[in-house]
Structure 1
Amino acid sequence: MTTQQHTPPPGPAPIPPGFVALADSGGPYMHHIGPLYRLRQGDLVKFGFRVERRHVNPLDILHGGMMASFCDMLLPLSVHDKSAEVADRFLPTISLQIDYLAAVPLGAWVEGQAQPLRVTRSLVFAQGLVSADGIPCARTSGVFKIGPALSGLVAQ
């Protein structure tokens, strides 16, 4: 009978310096799959998360649905930070496009940057790029409805 040495997996990698966990963004669903983190340095705004076991598919790579959820938060949150005219408004998704550029492994740090392309009276158009450990892994764009003021929404 042979015995195998079991080496416990290393602890979670640290969150990159300057990133702060977002509180109360995205409601109960994002609370369940988060946390998401934000970095603000002057005009630079990035959002990110660490890929955990609960975020992966059977091949231990980031599930496309998790990437879609991240992109669906990245775009409107970035618009909030970069467009004063809609900074306090709920921006429900009308359309979301994602091009998956590379597989993202378990444990990777995923971060994205995005910017508004156009803000009209009722719509916001935005685009962004997501990388995993510095490698581009998704390109995203979306259209969002300008909804009610966030202060007027009641937390459930």
Structure 2
Amino acid sequence: MNEFSQAPEAGFTLMEQGGTFMDHVGPVWSRADADGAVVLLRIGPQHTNPNASVHGGVLMTLIDVALGSALQAAMQGQGAGHPVTMQLSCSMVGAARLGDLVRAEARVDRLARSVGFSSGRIEAGGRLVMTASAVFKLPSS
């Protein structure tokens, strides 16, 4: 086992999605409850760009997962399936580097009948890297 395959913090579980895209990004670790969601990723060489910082697409993927996970946790099992991203707005305000533990935190801003609104941020080493907000189509009951 190496530093990328062990839970970086207590209380987190490995997100395993049966060979889907997220399995290629990770290992990604998550924790979600009624207050929101947190997603963790230790940055490896495969996550970086030619500038030796994390590729923006990796960060957008992590925040998208965290925002949707927060909504899903708030729904407490209502509806079948996962929330589907309708709109994602991100502002990249810093950089994460190789070896950083990137932490995406999300909260629910509003749940309506068929859509949900969430917002969050990504930090790396205590530095703000990204802020984001999103609108999701919620799964049907």
**TM-score normalised by the chain length of structure 1:** 0.76
1:37 alignment partner in structure 2:
29
Do 1:39 and 1:47's aligned partners in 2 also have CA atoms closer than 8 Å?
yes
Q: Which amino acid aligns with 2:71?
A: V
Q: Which moved more, 1:99-108 or 1:79-88?
A: 79-88
* Structure 1 unaligned regions, length at least 5: 1-10, 150-156
- How far 1:130 moved relative to its partner? 1.0
- 2:13 corresponds to which residue? 20
Opposite residue 22 of structure 1, the aligned amino acid is M
Number of matched pairs:
138
Task: Letter of the 1:104 partner, please give it.
Answer: A
Aligned pair in 2 of structure 1 residues 119, 43: CA closer, same or farther (>3 Å)?
Answer: closer
Q: Which runs of 5+ in 2 are unaligned?
A: none
Q: How does 1:69-148 map to 2 (within 5 A)?
A: 69-84=61-76, 86=78, 88-148=80-140
Correspondence for 1:52: 44
Counterpart Cα distance in 2 of 1:81 and 1:110: 21
Q: 1:124 to 1:86 in 2, by over 3 A?
A: farther
Aligned AA for 1:90?
H
Structure with the greater relative contact order (CA < 8 A, sep ≥ 6): 1 or 2? Answer: 2
Q: CA deviation at 1:37?
A: 0.4
Deviation digits for residues 14-66 of structure 1 (CA, Å, limit 9, x no counterpart): 643313212228x6111111221024689574211011111110011000011
Q: CA RMSD in A?
A: 2.5
Change (3 A) 1:88 1:135: farther
CA contact 1:98–1:140 (8 Å) conserved in 2: yes
Cα distance in 2 between the residues matched to 1:63 and 1:125: 25
More strand as a share of residues = 2
Change (3 A) 1:117 1:41: closer
Q: Which aligned segments of 4 or more residues in structure 1 are displaced greater than 3 angstroms?
A: 11-15, 39-45, 85-89
- When structure 1 is superposed on structure 2, of 43-52 and 91-100 the one drifting more is 43-52
